[in-house]
Chains A and B, each alone.
Chain A
Amino acid sequence: MAERSGMVEKRGPGLWFTHLGLIIGVLIIFFPIWLAFVASTVTQPEITQPPMPLWPGDRFFENYRDALVSGVNAPVARMLANSLIMALGIAIGKIIISLLSAFAIVYFRFPGRRLFFWLIFLTLMLPVEVRIVPTYEVVAGFGMLNSYSGLIFPLIASATATFLFRQFFLTVPDELAEAARVDGARPMRFFIDILLPMSRTNIAALFVILFIYGWNQYLWPLLITTDPSMNTIVMGIKQMFPSGDDVADWPVIMATSILAMVPPIVVVISMQNLFIRGLVDSEK
């Protein structure tokens, strides 16, 4: 009897099998990253004469220095900087324009309010992958190829964040806005002194999600950065593979892959709770 009622949470041998199953799962998930890390610490011949070792070698500093300083087409340090600018630009830009427009939609009555809401809402539906050719033409027309603004603006043209802030502002009690009005606070004062501090957690959670979204973009940077010095790291890795039959410089490529993973992983792990919150919110 005691054993049965305890069967929901496992104890004894069952507990160990549960842990074992989970550990195997974790190992399977980890394996590709472990292998990439090992490859980034060994010499090229150790990889090209298979099987490669499964334990790190002693070339960590040399390989990462090679990647960061010279890379293959462009120094990886440069690509990291490009990715950072793009990810921050997308996250901050999208948060700012969304906060402003959500504020306008929720707290003001003006002609065309519903129309604007629906126009913005429509953009929820269409990922950039679907409209690449015409968007490319627009960006090229503005002379924004190989530029940060070309990397950033087309990706902040969507309404997910606006929608989230709108949902949040709707839950803020009306009394707060009324009290502010009675006190003679102008709308922007209310926005800056009351609404923004209240949205702190939402802003941070959204920042985590958008940073990763921006950092991990692939197709868009691939199209508009033809100049290697403007490549982002995520799209730059593929460009490091030689065309034809030449042998790829695996240690440098794998070091670059690890470098491409570290910033978003650090963001996810260090802000885990915010990240989960952001994820759940943005899918609601």
Chain B
Amino acid sequence: MLPILLLLPQIVITAVFFFYPAGQAVWQSLFIPDPFGLKSQFVGLGNFEYLLGDPYYRASFVTTAIFSGLVTLVSMGMALYLALLADRLIKGAGTYRTLLIWPYAVAPAVAGVLWLFMFNTRVGVVSWYLGLLGYDWNHVLNEGEAMGLVVAASSWGRVSYNFLFFLAGLQAIPRSVIEAAAIDGAHFWTRFRTIVFPLLSPTTFFLLVVNVVYAFFETFGVIHTITSGGPQQATTILVYKVYKDGFVGQDLGGSAAQSVILLFVVGLLTIVQFKFIERRVHY
């Protein structure tokens, strides 16, 4: 009896706020409610067929792919660069770690407000100086600039996280291996390409998955504060579209179908992650 009692709080909360809603999402995705919300009509996979044929939804997939690819690339690239520098220090790496770590604590939505403020078309400092240089910044109208801004804001806080893992990964590489290569005359870039980067690959791969998951699901706040998915659909990533169609557009069946598709995406990413972690245990 005792073990069941111990499990009860978690089971109840999980059942009510997790399994039931997840089941509802799957169930609702098979129906279209009538305009008065009185009853629903069963449409089978109709919502999915409609979604996959919908150019806006397909465009949102492409947008999400570009967005998460860029966020992953920018935040990991910058973090690796800083970690490589910090790793070359005998003293002081810890100080830089402290200095670089804390943007992790800044919420994506707050990061969005900070970047919006810098690039605001009316009062933004950066956009003003860009104007001085003859560049007319306007992310409200320009789709490429809007994408650039949400990518920058989403990558910014993420650098901390990636830096931590890269630095730990670099410091775990035996010094003797690198010194041996240095004595053999291998310069920094050669050492990086032939020794450091291959030995760092478990960390890199892990971060790749984690950052894609982050860009997919945790950047809602950035998109919502900076662009609200616009201009037109230029920054409407999948999670934003679930919100917009479900809550703003009140298309429950369509939104539920999108949830189910996202569910598969998360499942896939999780499987990739676990496969990799299982492998890493044997390292």
Chain B interface residue bracket vs A: 35 or more
B43 to chain A, nearest CB (A): 17
The reply to whether the CB of B69 lies closer than 8 angstroms to some CB of chain A is no
Stretch of B4-12, B55-63, B133-141 contacting A (4+ beta carbons < 8 Å): B4-12
- A168 CA to B92 CA, complexed, in Å: 33
A158 in contact with B18 (CB, 8 Å): yes
The reply to whether the CB of A192 lies closer than 8 angstroms to some CB of chain B is no
- A253 CA to B113 CA, complexed, in Å: 9
Stretch of A171-179, A195-203, A258-266 contacting B (4+ beta carbons < 8 Å): A258-266
B17 in contact with A116 (CB, 8 Å): no
A100 in contact with B6 (CB, 8 Å): yes
Contacts of A237 in B (CB 8 A): 109-110, 113, 225
B183 in contact with A218 (CB, 8 Å): no
The reply to whether the CB of B115 lies closer than 8 angstroms to some CB of chain A is yes
Give B244-283 as 1s and 0s: 1 = Cβ < 8 Å from A's Cβ atoms. Answer: 0011000010011001001100110010000001000000
B128 in contact with A133 (CB, 8 Å): no
Give A257-284 as 1s and 0s: 1 = Cβ < 8 Å from B's Cβ atoms. Answer: 1001100110111001001100110011
Chain A interface residue bracket vs B: 35 or more
Contacts of A47 in B (CB 8 A): 123
**Total inter-chain residue pairs, C-beta < 8 Å:** 272
- A127 CA to B259 CA, complexed, in Å: 11
The reply to whether the CB of A9 lies closer than 8 angstroms to some CB of chain B is yes
B217 in contact with A129 (CB, 8 Å): yes
Contacts of A110 in B (CB 8 A): 3-4
- A103 CA to B9 CA, complexed, in Å: 13
The reply to whether the CB of B52 lies closer than 8 angstroms to some CB of chain A is no
- A96 CA to B22 CA, complexed, in Å: 24
B114 in contact with A104 (CB, 8 Å): no
Contacts of B246 in A (CB 8 A): 132-133
A14, A97, A125, A133: the one within 8 Å of B252 (CB): A133
A130 in contact with B28 (CB, 8 Å): no
- A21 CA to B159 CA, complexed, in Å: 15
A154 in contact with B17 (CB, 8 Å): yes
- A105 CA to B11 CA, complexed, in Å: 12
The reply to whether the CB of B81 lies closer than 8 angstroms to some CB of chain A is yes
The reply to whether the CB of A57 lies closer than 8 angstroms to some CB of chain B is no
A8 in contact with B256 (CB, 8 Å): no
Knowing A130-B262, A269-B98 are in contact, say whether A50-B14 is a contact too (CB < 8 A).
no
The reply to whether the CB of A77 lies closer than 8 angstroms to some CB of chain B is no
The reply to whether the CB of B25 lies closer than 8 angstroms to some CB of chain A is yes
A120, A127, A159: the one within 8 Å of B266 (CB): A127
A218 in contact with B210 (CB, 8 Å): no
Secondary structure call for the B interface: helix
A5 in contact with B179 (CB, 8 Å): yes
- A134 CA to B22 CA, complexed, in Å: 7
A97 in contact with B105 (CB, 8 Å): no
B117 in contact with A35 (CB, 8 Å): yes
Contacts of B247 in A (CB 8 A): 132-133, 136, 223
Contacts of B13 in A (CB 8 A): 97, 153, 156-157
A101, A132, A253: the one within 8 Å of B9 (CB): A101
- A100 CA to B9 CA, complexed, in Å: 9
A29 in contact with B159 (CB, 8 Å): yes
The reply to whether the CB of A242 lies closer than 8 angstroms to some CB of chain B is no
B20 in contact with A138 (CB, 8 Å): yes
Chain B 6-48 interface residues, beta-carbon cutoff 8 Å to A: 6-7, 9-11, 13-14, 16-25, 28
B125 in contact with A279 (CB, 8 Å): no
Knowing A26-B96, A126-B266, A260-B110 are in contact, say whether A267-B21 is a contact too (CB < 8 A).
no
A137 in contact with B24 (CB, 8 Å): yes
- A138 CA to B181 CA, complexed, in Å: 61
- A268 CA to B218 CA, complexed, in Å: 19
- A131 CA to B101 CA, complexed, in Å: 31
- A123 CA to B10 CA, complexed, in Å: 11
Knowing A47-B123, A50-B123, A257-B110 are in contact, say whether A268-B102 is a contact too (CB < 8 A).
yes
Among residues of A, the one whose C-beta sits closest to the C-beta of B178 is: A8
The reply to whether the CB of B202 lies closer than 8 angstroms to some CB of chain A is no
A119 in contact with B20 (CB, 8 Å): no
- A108 CA to B262 CA, complexed, in Å: 36
A278 to chain B, nearest CB (A): 11
The reply to whether the CB of A204 lies closer than 8 angstroms to some CB of chain B is no
Contacts of A279 in B (CB 8 A): 161, 164
A153 in contact with B105 (CB, 8 Å): no
- A114 CA to B105 CA, complexed, in Å: 36
- A267 CA to B101 CA, complexed, in Å: 12
B18, B110, B182, B239: the one within 8 Å of A129 (CB): B239
10 more CB-based (< 8 A) A-B contacts, given A4-B182, A130-B266, A135-B17: A29-B99, A48-B122, A97-B9, A100-B6, A126-B22, A126-B266, A131-B18, A132-B247, A234-B110, A272-B101
> Shortest 4 CB-CB distances between A and B: which pairs?
A216-B107, A134-B24, A264-B105, A134-B21
10 A–B pairs (Cβ distance < 8 Å), ordered by A: A14-B88, A35-B118, A104-B2, A129-B262, A131-B263, A134-B28, A216-B110, A217-B107, A218-B108, A237-B113
